[in-house]
Amino acid sequence: MKAITHKLKQSLLIWLFVILPLAGLSPALMADDEAAPPEAETTEEPASSDTEEAESTDEEESEEAEAGPVDDYQGLLDNQGDGAPAFDFFATSMLWTVIAAAMVFIMHLGFSALEVGLTRSKNTVNILFKNAFIIAIGLITYAILGFNTHYPGDFNGWLSIGKPIGDLNAEGGDVWGTYANLSLAMTGYGDFIFQAMFAATAATIVSGAVAERVKLSSFLIFATLLVGIAYPIVGSWHWGGGVLAGMEFKDFAGSAVVHAFGGFAALACVLILGPRKGKYDENGNVKPIPGHNMPLAAVGVFLLWFGWYGFNGGSVLSADPTPLGLVFTTTSLAAAAGVISAALVSWIVFSKPDLSMALNGALAGLVGITANADIVSPWSSVIIGLIAGVIVVFSVIALDKAGIDDPVGAISVHGTCGIWGILAAYFFQLPDSGVVLGSQIKGILLVAIAAFAFSAVVFGALKATIGVRVSDEEEEEGLDKAEHGAEAYPDFN
């Protein structure tokens, strides 16, 4: 009986305090409803007094707000009303720009992981050190002179050295002027940080090609000059209104101005540096030197693929949904097609599927689509990626046979496939895109020659003065110990 009574009490409590409140009929509310009429009658005058006090308080708070925090947001308020949709688009575009910049930054981790994975373990610390230095020096030099050299303003020539950045929102960066339209929607600082993340990429490409035998001090000097001077000057020819812009050269996000530039800079350095010891036998036959960590190489490629959505997608320079969706789609399909064709071709050539070729196939497709991602159809991007995947396999083989030792295939991926991307912009362009074959050929020649010549002069001067290659003993020992006195995997030796 007690148990039944206890259960009834529990049921009643549940009904009163759970079921009724969920239905909006709690005992407290019912009690308030019942007591409301008498309370309203007895408190009518005080209620009037309270209302007056509330109105007075609202007026005081309104005056305080006008004198205080609202002033901080006056720019926002001024652009509301009829301009609210435009302001919202601008804010969304700026947010996308800095997200894209962060994604491009992640690409430097991808380059590091790929380069480490495709080389020997005894050089891991050296490679990571180089890549950390490259992104750091790239950001600083881009702030000192790179940005204003890259985008000199009123410019239609070959050379205009810029000054250090100042207040970018005051110096030509008025958010409701230069940087507020459908094709360019960001603040001056948003523009700077997105472009700065690109700047170090060229030297990162070179880092992979010269890995395992380059002298650290010489490489750091070379990388500083390449990203601080050469890259922004060549970039200004296209994106800064220079000679390439004058000939209507098409390179959407940098197949030539970023990737081929880095690839041909790497080619000059590798020719001066020479191959790694043990890469060729006494008869000149190629002896493969396997990388020590293929899982890490694969992680690097997937990080690069992910970052490429920021690289290409951010190059829309706004959140305009029409080109943004197309660019993401063409970028994805080209990369996927590159994996498939490189894997199949390498399987046929080597009789077994080669993972490193498949990974470089993805990067080849990405480089190939970078020049034209906004002006080709999805199925055209598949063809571009398929061809890039084939090109990269045969380019790697050809360079190896020519005695050009590139441990990670950087010259083939970025240089050879960068050329393909520029040409593909003409062959696969959508109607009314206006890409001219002659301009594409002239543009890629100018970029390639400039990158190769600058690198040959600077790297050659370094070789003649302080040297660019470690000794045979240091190369055999590994650059981790020889250059840094540290090992990446001390417990495994």
Q: What is the pLDDT, as a whole number, of residue 157? A: 66
pLDDT tens per residue across span 419-463: 999 999 999 999 999 999 999 999 999 999 999 999 999 999 999
All domains of the chain, ordered by start, with CATH?
93-491 (1.10.3430.10)
What per-residue confidence (pLDDT) applies to 68?
A: 42
Confidence grade of residue 200 (pLDDT, cut at 50, 70, 90): confident
- Average pLDDT in the chain: 85
- pLDDT bracket for residue 76 (50, 70, 90): low
Q: Quick one: what percent of the chain has pLDDT higher than 70?
A: 80
Confidence of residue 166 (pLDDT cuts 50, 70, 90): confident
Q: Which helix (H) or strand (E) holds 185?
A: strand 184-185
pLDDT score at 4: 47
When comparing pLDDT for 263 and 176, which is higher? 263
> At 25, is the pLDDT very low, low, confident or very high (cuts 50, 70, 90)?
very low
Phi, psi angles (nearest 5°) of residue 485:
65, 30
In the predicted model, is pLDDT for residue 90 greater than 90? Answer: no
Residue of 219, 197, 214 whose CA lies nearest to 133: 219
With contact defined as beta carbons under 8 Å apart, do 247 and 422 qualify?
no
How far apart are the C-alpha atoms of 173 and 92, rounded to whole Å?
Answer: 17
Higher pLDDT pick, 454 / 178: 454
Average pLDDT over residues 380-384: 98
pLDDT number for residue 208: 95
Question: In this structure, what is the dihedral angle of CA atoms 430, 436, 437, 442, given to the nearest 10 degrees?
Answer: -140
Measured at the alpha carbon of residue 290, what is the angle toward residues 286 and 294, in degrees to the nearest 5? 145
Q: 38 or 364, which is more confident?
A: 364
Task: Place 201 in a pLDDT band, splitting at 50, 70 and 90.
Answer: confident
39 has pLDDT over 60: no
Q: What are phi and psi of 281, to 5 degrees?
A: -85, -175
